[in-house]
Every structure is written in C-alpha cells, then in structure tokens.
Amino acid sequence: MFRSRSKDEQAAPAEPVADLTQQPRDPQAPKGRPTPKRREAQSQRRQITKAPANRKEAAKRAREARRTELAKQRQALASGDERYLPLRDRGPVRRFARDFVDAKWHVAEFFLPIAVGILILSIVPSVQAQNISLLLWLGVIVMIVVDSIGTARRLKKALRERFPGENLRGVTMYALMRTLQMRRMRLPKPQVARGQAPRR
C-alpha cells in the first residue's frame, strides 16, 4: 500500500515552483520592436516582389528600374542632390570645380550667341563684312584660349590648397567643358551666384 503511493508520487510530474521575483508577462507588451502601421506593412509587402517568371518579365523590371534611376538623376541634376547624380558629377572635388566655374564670368559661355552673330555677318554679300567676321572669329578664339588657361591655372591652385592628396585627374577638363555651356543650360544646375565663394 505504501509502495504504490510512493510510485504514484514518483510518476506524477513535479509542478514548477513559481518565481516570485519574475513579473508575469503582459500579452500586450511590445516584442522588442514597434508594431508597423498598416500603411507601412502594405508598402513593405509591395516592395517584396516575387522573382521574375521569365526573361521578358525580368527585362521589363530592369527597364522600369532604369527609368526610375534616370528620373532621379534628372531631378538631382536640377536640384544638386549628390545622392543621385551621375558618377562623373559626384564628390566634393567635382562640386568645388562646378562652383568655381559658376561663380565667375567666362568668355567661352558666350561662344554660341557670338558664333551666331558672326555667322550672320559672314553671309552678308560684302567683302568688308566677311573680313570683319574672320577677325571676330580669330579674336573670340584667342580670348577663349587665354581665359581658359587662366581659369585652369587658378582652379588647379585652388584644388591643391583645398584638397591636398586627392586625385585631381580630369577635374580641370571637367571644369573647362562647363565653361563652354551657357549658365542656364549647365547641368547640374549652378548652386552659387556670380561672385559667391564655392561651397565647403
């Protein structure tokens, strides 16, 4: 009789002793992270897309991604947001070169309207007008070359002072090509006014 009772006690599982120091878990307590709102959860589910079923669908997605990237680049070229600029325009060195050019007047930026005027003058049926147009062509080219040489020297000096040890290869030509464009047609759009110091 005593033996069977002891066997029953051994067979019964021991009840865990409640830890009085541990507080009972609240079922409404957070799970270590905030619960996302329904709108956020739906947007996350839309972003998690399935793998493309075939090559045609993969190409379509690639075109859409490329179109989105180009749209961001166009917006960045207008606003100056460097996160989405093309690789050739990114970085503080290229930004300084753009600001250096945009802060000054350059002969080369007026080349297009001057060239149109000289072209009109050259078609006038007059030997004297044609001679004047040739002299103007020569004068404009000489002024552009002189101004470009001066701009290149000043820019190189400023770059060496501002960015010692940086790779400055191609930056001077990048800036000179920008001087050939009219200010309103430059991309990325100028972010400094005439006479303003380049941004830091």
In a domain, 13, yes or no: no
State how far the alpha carbon of 116 is from the alpha carbons of 105, 133, 180, in Å: 20, 11, 15
In a domain, 106, yes or no: yes
Residues in CB range of 31: below 8 A, 6 or more apart: none
Single out the residue in 43, 67, 87 at which a domain terminates: 87
Kindly state whether residues 63 and 141 are assigned to the same domain: no
Kindly state whether residues 122 and 70 are assigned to the same domain: no
Single out the residue in 87, 103, 126 at which a domain terminates: 87
Residue 76's SS3 state is helix
Kindly state whether residues 110 and 147 are assigned to the same domain: yes
What pLDDT score does 74 carry? 83
Is residue 152 within 8 Å of residue 78, measured between CB atoms? no
What pLDDT score does 93 carry? 96
In a domain, 25, yes or no: no
Kindly state whether residues 110 and 161 are assigned to the same domain: yes
Kindly state whether residues 79 and 95 are assigned to the same domain: no
Kindly state whether residues 69 and 129 are assigned to the same domain: no
In a domain, 51, yes or no: no
pLDDT tens sequence across 120-131: 988 988 889 889
Kindly state whether residues 143 and 158 are assigned to the same domain: yes
What pLDDT score does 18 carry? 46
Q: Which amino acid is at 152?
A: A
In a domain, 70, yes or no: yes
Number of domains composing the chain: 2
pLDDT tens sequence across 133-161: 999 999 999 999 999 999 999 999 999 99
What pLDDT score does 65 carry? 84
In a domain, 21, yes or no: no
Length of the chain in residues, anyone?
200
In a domain, 116, yes or no: yes
What is the residue-level pLDDT of the chain in tens, covering all 200 positions?
A: 445 454 444 544 545 444 444 455 554 545 555 665 666 656 555 555 566 778 888 888 888 888 888 888 788 788 877 888 988 999 999 999 999 999 999 999 999 999 999 999 889 888 898 899 999 999 999 999 999 999 999 999 999 999 998 999 999 999 999 999 999 999 999 999 999 988 87
Kindly state whether residues 159 and 141 are assigned to the same domain: yes
Kindly state whether residues 95 and 155 are assigned to the same domain: yes
C-alpha dihedral over 37, 38, 44, 45, to 10 degrees? 150
What pLDDT score does 68 carry? 85
In a domain, 9, yes or no: no
Kindly state whether residues 95 and 147 are assigned to the same domain: yes
Which token pair is 117? 């005027």
pTM summary value: 0.67
Single out the residue in 87, 107, 127 at which a domain terminates: 87
Kindly state whether residues 81 and 123 are assigned to the same domain: no
Q: Which amino acid is at 21?
A: T
Domain with 77, as residue range(s), is 59-87
Kindly state whether residues 95 and 130 are assigned to the same domain: yes
